[in-house]
């Protein structure tokens, strides 16, 4: 959510930002919120005037009573009661307009960084840089689910019977590999100076609306029936929510945290074969990182964070590239975002395995997160980034380390997490 003061002063800049995001249906919201804001401020002024009148009359009542002028005092009391009634109605309208302003402001997208490329959707995202040499072997690489099944590591049929489509059983060495990658990613981030955390896996609605747009919430979140709780779609939501309503001390910034959690997503819509298996699923696990920092340091942290993900994937000998998200692919709260994509030798293209975002002060304003500064309180900036999210990441891992005989090599950095196992070998039926 942007600052209402900024919108008052630069409404055309806000409209231009909306146009660049190709959200023309939101242009009228700017004028609508300005009109409501004007009425709201007029009501505030009127309320102050009524309170001032009431205070003056109350003093007059005291003087009249002290001088034995009860009739005159009763007449003034009647005026005070009339003011109280008018003030009650004024406050009701004031709250009503204020809430309408907030509701509309929640729909207006955050101001994008001026470096964000302009484009309608993810097809117009811009490649920034490649890391590692993409290799296509001279032998066929099977579909990722087939690789896992040959390793006796995946059971989709049982998962469908138990939970339906979009779920899975990981078994044996594949399940252990999944956990090894998560644990390695945890230790990797701890060595970078981040504090490890396991957050709540459910959050309340006021946290949900504080960290994401209404459109994202509807598309992603599972609601717990009969409870004001949602299953998290990603752990940065509960991690940022940790600071909700808090007054932070300047000397404690930045907060740098890395978190483990399961994640739950609706993942609506039909998908092609490459997005089946364990690519697009309702449940997965993830190692995440978040930063809460000084506003002037947020883009420095932004660059550090996505570079950590690139470094982790390269330490596992997986080629990756970074892709700058264009304006039309940028979620409303994000000011700038970059995707990290891993190379798929099977598809001979890159696919998304993580995303790094700077939300500037949009989340902190929604959640009421402030910093106590020497010259007044201010809003910190918040950022989040995927460290690693298996089992999707397993697709890139298995394809890039797959051998012609069906075995899968394990990079040295994972040996200690795999009981010194250096290779996964297919199992006989």
Structure tokens at 31: 């004028």
Give the strand pairing for 336-344 and 320-324.
Answer: antiparallel
CA nearest to 275, candidates 354, 221, 352: 352
For the chain, report the end-to-end CA distance as a whole number of angstroms: 56
Please tell me the predicted confidence (pLDDT) of residue 240: 96
Residue 61 DSSP SS3: helix
What letter does residue 166 receive in the DSSP assignment? T
Residue 23's Cα: distance from chain center in Å?
20
Q: Is 193 left (phi over 0), alpha (psi -120 to 50) or beta?
A: left
* Alpha-carbon distances of 83 from 65, 94, 111, rounded to whole Å: 20, 16, 42
Residue 360's nearest CA partner among 180, 177, 110 is 110
What is the distance between the alpha carbons of residues 345 and 140, in angstroms, rounded to a whole number? 9
How would DSSP label each residue in 116-146? SPP-SSGGG-EEEEEES-----SS----HHH
Residue 219: the pLDDT is 80
Contact (Cβ atoms closer than 8 angstroms) between residue 240 and residue 292? yes
Q: Which residues pair with 126 in a beta bridge?
A: 324
Q: What is the structure's pLDDT at 276?
A: 66
pLDDT at 202: 96
Q: With beta carbons less than 8 A apart as the criterion, state whether 83 and 306 touch.
A: no
DSSP string, 358-413: E-TTHHHHHHT-EEEETTEEEPPEEEEEEEE-TTHHHHHHHHHTB-TTS-EE--GG
Tokens of 24: 């023309």
Contacts of 417 (CB under 8 A, 6+ apart): 179, 180, 181, 183, 184
**Peptide bond between residue 260 and the one before it cis (omega within 30 degrees of 0):** no
Q: Does residue 24 contact residue 18 with C-beta atoms inside 8 Å?
A: yes
Total Cβ atoms within 10 A of residue 210: 25
Task: Provide the edge-to-edge strand list for the sheet that holds 195-197.
Answer: 126-131, 320-324, 336-344, 349-358, 381-388, 283-293, 255-264, 195-197
Q: What is the pLDDT of residue 278?
A: 87
Domains of the chain: 4-105 (1.10.287.40), 122-424 (3.30.930.10)
Give tens-digit pLDDT for 168-200: 999 999 999 999 999 999 999 999 999 999 999
Q: What is the pLDDT along the chain (429 residues), one digit of tens a residue?
A: 899 999 999 999 999 999 999 999 999 999 999 999 999 999 999 999 999 989 888 888 878 887 888 888 888 888 889 999 999 999 999 999 999 999 999 999 999 999 999 999 999 999 999 999 999 999 999 999 999 999 999 999 999 999 999 899 999 999 999 999 999 999 999 999 999 999 999 999 999 999 987 777 878 899 999 999 999 999 999 999 999 999 999 999 999 999 999 999 987 554 455 456 888 889 999 999 999 999 999 999 999 999 999 999 999 999 999 999 999 999 999 999 999 999 999 999 999 999 999 999 999 999 999 999 888 999 999 999 999 998 889 999 999 999 999 999 999 999 999 999 999 999 875
- Residue linked to tokens 């909306």: 18
């Amino acid at each position: 959510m942007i600052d209402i003061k900024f919108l008052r002063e630069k409404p055309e800049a806000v409209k231009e930002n909306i146009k660049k995001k190709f959200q023309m249906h939101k242009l009228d919201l700017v004028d609508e919120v300005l009109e409501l804001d004007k009425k709201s401020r007029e009501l505030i002024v009127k309320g102050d005037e009524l309170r001032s009148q009431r205070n003056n009359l109350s003093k007059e009542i005291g003087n009249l009573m002290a001088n034995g002028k009860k009739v005159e005092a009763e007449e003034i009391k009647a005026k005070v009661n009339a003011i109280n009634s008018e003030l009650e109605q004024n406050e009701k309208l004031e709250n009503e307009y204020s809430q309408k302003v907030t509701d509309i402001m929640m729909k207006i997208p955050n101001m994008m960084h001026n470096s964000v490329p302009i484009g309608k959707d993810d097809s117009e995202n811009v490649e920034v840089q490649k890391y590692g040499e993409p290799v296509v072997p001279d032998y066929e690489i099977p579909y990722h689910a087939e690789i896992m099944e040959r390793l006796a590591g995946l059971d989709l049929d049982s998962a469908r019977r138990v939970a339906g489509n979009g779920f899975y059983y990981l078994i044996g060495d594949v399940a252990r590999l999944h956990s090894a990658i998560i644990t390695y990613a945890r230790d990797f981030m701890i060595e970078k100076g981040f504090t490890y955390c396991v957050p709540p896996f459910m959050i309340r609605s006021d946290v949900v609306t504080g960290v994401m747009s209404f459109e994202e919430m509807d598309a992603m979140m599972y609601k717990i029936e009969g409870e004001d709780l949602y299953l998290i779609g990603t752990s940065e939501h509960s991690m940022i929510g940790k600071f909700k309503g808090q007054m932070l001390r300047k000397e404690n910034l930045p907060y740098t945290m890395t978190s483990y959690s399961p994640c739950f997503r609706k993942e609506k819509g039909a998908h092609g074969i490459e997005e089946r298996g364990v690519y697009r699923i309702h449940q997965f696990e993830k190692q995440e990182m978040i930063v809460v920092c000084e506003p002037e340091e947020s883009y420095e942290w932004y660059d550090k964070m996505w570079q950590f993900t690139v470094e982790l994937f390269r330490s596992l000998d997986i080629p990756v590239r970074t892709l700058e998200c264009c304006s039309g692919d940028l979620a409303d709260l994000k000011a700038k975002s970059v995707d990290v994509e891993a190379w798929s030798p099977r598809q001979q293209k890159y696919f998304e395995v993580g995303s790094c975002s700077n939300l500037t002060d949009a989340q902190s304003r929604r959640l009421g997160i402030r910093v106590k500064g020497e010259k007044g309180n201010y809003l910190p900036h918040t950022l989040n980034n995927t460290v690693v999210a298996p089992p999707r990441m397993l697709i890139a891992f298995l394809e890039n380390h797959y051998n012609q005989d069906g075995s899968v090599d394990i990079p040295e950095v994972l040996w200690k997490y795999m009981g010194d196992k250096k290779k996964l070998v297919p199992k006989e039926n």
